[in-house]
Amino acid sequence: MPPNAQPHADPASAARAPEPLARDGLAYVVEHGPSFATLRVELPAERTLFVQAGRLMRLEPGVEVRPALNAAVPGPPGLWAKLVALFVTLLRVAFGGDPPIADRVRTARGGRVWLAPASPGSIGHRRLHGDALFVNADAYLAHAGRVEVRVRFGNVQRALSRVAVVFFELSGFGEAWFASHGGVQRIDVRGTFLVEPHHLLAFDGALTFHIRPDAGPAAPAGAAGRVCELRGRGRAYVQGRAGAAVVAALARRDQGAA
């Protein structure tokens, strides 16, 4: 690991009692972590929680759920924005991701909501204070507060190399949760940080990001000619296991058992 990138343990990986956050924040607790983490959110009256479709596990009586579009495409609204949004949806589905549709969870008198990621692993959290966070769309779990969500997707080179194409840009004031394969490691970036693409969960909007086509001798093992380069000062979130590698290992195991 580069000397200008400092790791931190994941405080959300261990079970604990719900702790209220700052004003307008939501109390939450990560249960059954770090290997099979689920998220419990204490939803106050008249507050709204947006959850990635298919991640809602259970809820208390009185909590209402409705479908909603979870992300917008940059630019003025209109037919063109809708067409681009449709293209993004088809692109995500084609590469095995979830469409940008969310469950809109709301309650008139308050209640608890439980969320479960699509695969085993941990759950990370980031509070937004008017800044931005880019989250790998496949890792996105939920958000709450005055948060604007936009779809950001890579260029053709990234799509053809099957690197994570779509990111959600979350900006504003509120909460964001994301799920990982394995544990979540927080990295304080001061300068340049290199990471294998499938291990990158999220990164601060203050960091610049691009994919280097030729990793070189300094690339992490398994980068196979591709490495993400983050530059600047901010925080990055890395997962302990690569989703693509997990899927490949399970496929090989199933083939061996057949």
**231: pLDDT strictly greater than 90:** yes
| Residue 258: per-residue pLDDT | 56
Q: Give 71-111 as a DSSP string.
A: -B-SS-SSHHHHHHHHHHHHHHHHTT---SEEEEEEESS-E
- Secondary structure letter of residue 160 according to DSSP: H
At 32, the pLDDT band (50, 70, 90 cuts) reads confident
Q: What is the 3-state secondary structure (H, E, C) of 209-236?
A: EEEECCCCCCCCCCCCCCEEEEEEEEEE
Residues 6 or more apart whose Cβ sits within 8 Å of residue 93? 99
- Secondary structure letter of residue 19 according to DSSP: B
| Burial bucket for residue 153 (CB in 10 Å: 0-12, 13-18, 19+) | middle
Average model confidence (pLDDT) across the chain? 74
Q: Which residue has the higher pLDDT, 248 or 46?
A: 46
Residue 226, number of CB atoms within 10 A of its CB: 20
Residue 179, number of CB atoms within 10 A of its CB: 28
CA distance 131 to 110: 28
Query: Bridge-partner residues for 43, per DSSP?
Result: 111
Q: Which span out of 31-35, 184-188, 195-199, 247-251 was modeled with the highest average pLDDT?
A: 184-188
At 160, the pLDDT band (50, 70, 90 cuts) reads very low
All domains in the chain, ordered by first residue: 5-257 (3.60.160.10)
| Residue 167: per-residue pLDDT | 84
